[in-house]
Chain A
Amino acid sequence: MDQMGLKQKLFKERYRKFADNLQRDELDDLLPDAARYIARLNSRPGNPVKTVILTEKFSFIVPRLGGNYVPEPWDSHILLGYGVRPEDLK
C-alpha cells in the first residue's frame, strides 16, 4: 500500500483490510480461498500454478527515547502452503 499512488490507494484500501484479516488465526478458513484465487490469477494455459505459499511479513514499531523512530528489521512466517488441484483453476 505504501508504494501506491493516492488514487490507487483509494481504490485498493480494501485489499489492505482483507490482507489484515488473512493474518488472523480465527479466520484461517479465508486462506485456501485466497490461495485458489492467486492460483487462478497466475495460471497460464500449459503452465498452471502448482503451489501457492502465503507469507506474512512484519516489522515491530518500537518507540524510542525522544520519540525517535528507527524501523525494526522485517521478519516473516508462512501462513499457508497450498497444493493447487486442477479443479481449483476452473
Chain B
Amino acid sequence: MSLSSVSRLWNQFFFAEQSPLPIALFRIIYGILVILTLALLRPDWLNWYGVHAWLSLPTALKLEPGHRLNLFSIIPQSDAWIEALFWVALASAVLLTLGLFTRINSVLVFICLTSIQQRNLYITHGGDTFLRLAGFFLIFAPAGAALSLDRVIRIRRGKEPRTIQPRSPWAQRMIQLQLSFMYLVAFMVKVKGAPWLQGTALFYVYHLDEFRRFPIPARFFHPIVLKLGSWSALALEFSLGVLIWVKELRYYLLALGLLFHLWLEYSLNIPLFQWDILSAYVLFIDADDLSRLWNALRTFCFRLLRVHNELERQRVFGTRPE
C-alpha cells in the first residue's frame, strides 16, 4: 500500500461528504439523554454540588489538581448560583435537542456536563464520560444540518435548499471511534482478570445485590450458562471494538449489541448507562437506511391512525367501513 493510497483512504474516511442525518439524529437522542441525566440529578443537585455538598469544592480541587474546565470553581459560591447553573444546563440541553442555536448550545452543554463531572468525579459512570467526550466532538459536527429548528429557519429565509446537503463527517467519525475504543478497552481490561477468562465473572456480577434491578431467572445461574455469558460478553465487546468497521458485519453486531445492552438494562441498575452507549449506534447506520426506517415508521403510524379512525367511526355511527 502506497503512502498516497493511505492518504486517500484517510481523507475518504474522515472527509468524504455524507448525509448529516445520522449525526442530527444522534444530537436529538444525546440531548434527551442529557435532559434525563439532569432530571435524575435534580432532587440531589445541592447535595452533590451545593456549597455544603457531600464533597466540598476545596476537597474536589485537592483530589483532582491542575487546570480543569469547571464552572463551579468560577461562579460565586452560593446555592443560588449553583441552582442557576442547573437551569442553564437544562435550557441548553433542551435547545440542543430541538436544534435551535445548535452550535452555541452544543458548546454550553459540553461545558456544563464537564463542570458537573469535574465538581464530583466520584459519582459518575462510564456513560457520563461517554456523553462528555461525545459532546466535545458534537461541537464541531454539522449536528444542526438536519432535523433541527435552525434548518427550518434557514430554509424559510431561503438560505438553504430543502434537500439535505452532504457534509464532512470527521466529527461523527471521532464519536464512532470513541465508541469502538470504549468497547475495545472494556475487552482489554476484562481479559486481564481471571474471572472473565475462567467464565465466572457473571456469577459475581449477578450477586451484587446493590446493582440488581429485575429478577434474573434461575437458569441463568447455571455454571455453563454463566461461562457462555461471560465469554460471549468478551467476544461481543471485542467485535464491537474492531469488527464494527467491517461493513458486512456492522448491522449484525449492532443488533447483538442492542440485545446485550437491553439485557444489562433489565438486570443491572446503572441508570442511563446503556442508553448513553446505545445512542451512538445511530452513527453507524447508513443515512439511506435511516431514511428508509423513518419512512417505514411513518407509513406504519399512518396505517395505525387510519385503522384507529375507522374503528372510532364504527363506534360512533355503528357502521362498518366499506
Q: How far is the CA of A69 from the CA of B53 in the complex (A)?
A: 39
Whether A18 contacts B123 by the Cβ 8 Å rule is yes
Question: Are B55 and A67 in contact, with the CB atoms below 8 A?
Answer: no
B118 shortest CB reach to chain A, Å: 15
Contacts of A12 in B (CB 8 A): 44
| CB of B19 to closest CB in A, whole Å | 36
- Which of A12, A13, A69 counts the most B-chain CB atoms under 10 A from its CB? A13
B56 located at the interface, meaning its Cβ lies under 8 Å from any Cβ of chain A in the complex: yes
In angstroms, Cα B62 to Cα A10, docked, is 30
Q: How far is the CA of A37 from the CA of B44 in the complex (A)?
A: 13
Give the B-binding residues of A (Cβ under 8 A).
1-2, 6, 9-18, 21, 27, 29-30, 32-34, 36-37, 40, 61, 63, 66-67, 69
Q: How many A-B residue pairs have CB under 8 A?
A: 76
Within 8 A of A (CB), among B264-305: 269-271
CA distance A1 to B211 in the complex (A): 8
For A11, list chain B residues within 8 Å (CB): 40, 43-44
**Given A30-B59, A63-B203, also A69-B269 (CB < 8 A):** no
- CB-based contact A63/B63 at 8 Å: no
Pairs across A and B, CB under 8 Å, 17 listed = A2-B210, A9-B213, A9-B269, A11-B44, A12-B44, A13-B271, A15-B123, A16-B211, A17-B123, A18-B54, A18-B55, A30-B63, A33-B54, A63-B204, A67-B221, A67-B222, A69-B221
Give, as a whole number of angstroms, the nearest-CB distance from B153 to chain A: 37
Contact of A66 among B53, B120, B223 (CB under 8 A): B223
Compute how far the CA of A12 lies from the CA of B40 in the bound complex, rounded to whole angstroms.
8
Chain A residues within an 8 Å CB radius of B308: none
> A29 touching B222 by the CB < 8 A rule?
no
User: Are A10 and B53 in contact, CB atoms less than 8 angstroms apart?
Assistant: no
Residue B114 is within 8 A (CB to CB) of chain A in the complex:
no
Q: Is B1 an interface residue (CB 8 A)?
A: no
Q: Shortest beta-carbon distance, B206 to chain A, in Å?
A: 9
- Our pick among B63, B122, B212 for the contact of A2 (Cβ within 8 Å) is B212
Q: Which residues of A contact B255 (CB under 8 A)?
A: none
Q: Tell me the bound Cα distance from A11 to B45 in angstroms.
A: 11
CA distance A21 to B221 in the complex (A): 29
Give the residues in chain A near B125, CB-CB below 8 Å: 17
Q: Are A16 and B40 in contact (CB under 8 A)?
A: no
Residue B208 is within 8 A (CB to CB) of chain A in the complex? yes
Docked CA distance A25–B212 (Å): 26
| 10 further contact pairs, Cβ within 8 A, besides A15-B123, A67-B223 | A1-B211, A2-B210, A6-B213, A13-B270, A14-B48, A16-B211, A17-B125, A18-B122, A40-B52, A63-B203
Which residues of chain B (104-153) have a CB below 8 Å from chain A? 120, 122-125
Contact B208 A27 (CB under 8 A): no
Task: Say yes or no: B203 contacts A67, CB within 8 Å.
Answer: yes
CA distance A66 to B210 in the complex (A): 24
A27 to B63 alpha-carbon distance, docked (Å)? 8
Cα separation A27 to B121 with both chains bound (whole Å): 11
B207 within 8 A of A: yes
Q: Are B269 and A10 in contact (CB under 8 A)?
A: yes
Tell me the nearest residue of chain A to B125, going by C-beta: A17
| Bound-complex Cα distance A36 to B211 (A) | 27
Across the interface, B122 reaches (CB within 8 A) one of A17, A37, A61, A63, namely A17
In the assembled complex, which residues on chain B have CB atoms less than 8 Å from the CB atom of A36? 56
Question: Which one, B55, B208, B226, B271, contacts A33 given CB within 8 A?
Answer: B55
In the complex, what residues of B have CB within 8 A of residue A1's CB? 209-211, 269
Which chain B positions have C-beta within 8 A of A27? 63, 122
Shortest distance between the CB of A32 and any CB in chain B (Å):
8
Q: Nearest chain A CB to B311's CB is how many angstroms away? A: 34
Which of A9, A37, A66 interacts with B54 by CB under 8 Å? A37
What's the minimum C-beta distance from B128 to chain A, rounded to whole angstroms?
10
Q: Which residue of B lies closest to A6 (CB)?
A: B213
